[in-house]
């Protein structure tokens, strides 16, 4: 082979190796960098549970946040300017769900769209005669299987500043992203047939019980929005697992144990739950999907 051909082949090989290695190098550099003090202040201020976590989990959360922010793109909607406050807070919520796990940081998620407040979407429905009508729906969050999460910043803050009521739109939507990793059926990636069987038994039974309670108008710890379908049940149960771990463990021990096995942490072991921060004034409550 002529020397020029060897040089061309060598150049192409080096270029291919560089193209493969460079993103990994940049990611490792981002994750290994010291966590900015300003970011730590944001997490401590906007995610009260952070200060109740063991130091090892705090550090792990910080590294996950760095990877999340390195890989995901944020877009402000309706004139909202994306700031570090917004990016770091939402990343902290998302990464709380993936601690102690060897999986990637939402590998299929690329874009986070953030509205200043609740937003409206159109929804089509048809009646018995087949007539299709369009209506507006007000939402505080939405999760898509095509790599996109949409959030209301006001509702993200509302959910974080009262981390005791079992309602947190960011946790809800990112739980949907975990569900998307294995279709959208209320069962995320579990790893074995036995795990899927146990998950179906426990969460299927709890879902049926919540549907019955919602139908009969009974008071429940779990938000009855979780009775919509198994995917919404998993997302709602996730909110309660992180925000009301003691109550969930007491009232739904099998459900709590199954979620603990999946998330690989036990929030009930962390320090006592903090009271809602007094300076946050809640606004209107809107739906989520």
Most confident of 107-121, 162-176, 260-274: 162-176
pLDDT digits (tens, 9 = 90+) for 24-74: 444 554 566 899 999 999 999 999 899 999 999 999 999 999 999 999 999
Query: What mean pLDDT value characterizes the chain?
Result: 86
Give which of 252, 251, 256 is closest to 267, Cα–Cα: 256
Check whether 9 has a pLDDT greater than 90: no
The angle, 0 to 180 degrees and rounded to 10, between the axes of the packed helices 37-46 and 153-161 is 70
pLDDT digits (tens, 9 = 90+) for 91-150: 999 999 999 988 789 999 999 999 999 887 766 656 666 666 566 677 889 999 899 999
In the block, residue with structure tokens 């009646």:
127
Residue 138's pLDDT is what? 76
Residue 185's pLDDT is what? 85
Residue 287's pLDDT is what? 58
Integer angstrom CA distances of residue 79 from 76, 117, 138:
7, 11, 18
21-288: CATH topology: Collagenase (Catalytic Domain) (3.40.390)
Residue 4's pLDDT is what? 61
Q: Which two tokens mark 180?
A: 């998307």
List alpha helices for the chain, DSSP H: 3-32, 37-46, 55-71, 84-96, 153-161, 169-180, 193-216, 230-243, 245-251, 253-263
Beta strand 287-288 with 119-126: parallel, antiparallel or unpaired?
Answer: unpaired
So where are the chain's domains? 21-288
Report the 10 Å Cβ neighbour count for 146: 9
Mean pLDDT of 77-91: 98
């Amino acid at each position: 082979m002529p020397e020029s051909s060897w040089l061309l082949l060598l150049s192409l090989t080096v270029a291919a190796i560089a193209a493969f290695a460079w993103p990994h190098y940049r990611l490792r550099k981002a994750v290994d960098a010291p966590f900015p003090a300003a970011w730590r202040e944001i997490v401590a201020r906007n995610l009260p549970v952070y200060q109740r976590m063991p130091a090892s989990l705090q550090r792990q959360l910080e590294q996950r946040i760095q990877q999340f922010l390195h890989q995901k793109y944020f877009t402000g909607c309706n004139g909202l300017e994306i700031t570090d406050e917004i990016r770091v807070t939402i990343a902290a919520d998302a990464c709380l769900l993936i601690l102690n796990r060897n999986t990637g940081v939402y590998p299929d998620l690329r874009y986070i769209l953030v509205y200043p407040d609740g937003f409206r979407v159109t929804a089509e429905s048809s009646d018995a005669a087949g007539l299709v009508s369009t209506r507006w729906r007000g939402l505080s969050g939405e999760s898509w299987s095509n790599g996109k999460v949409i959030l209301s910043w006001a509702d993200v803050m509302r959910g974080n500043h009262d981390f005791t009521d079992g309602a947190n739109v960011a946790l809800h939507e990112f739980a949907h992203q975990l569900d998307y990793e294995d279709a959208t059926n209320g069962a995320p990636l579990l790893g074995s047939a036995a795990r899927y069987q146990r998950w179906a038994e426990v969460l299927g039974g709890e879902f049926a019980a919540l549907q019955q309670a919602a139908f009969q108008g009974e008071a429940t710890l779990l938000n009855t929005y979780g009775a919509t379908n198994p995917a919404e049940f998993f997302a709602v149960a996730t909110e309660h697992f992180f925000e009301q771990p003691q109550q969930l463990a007491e009232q739904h021990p099998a459900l709590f144990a199954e979620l603990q096995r999946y998330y690989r942490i036990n929030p009930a072991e962390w320090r006592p739950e903090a009271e809602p921060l007094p300076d946050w004034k809640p606004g209107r409550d809107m739906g989520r999907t």
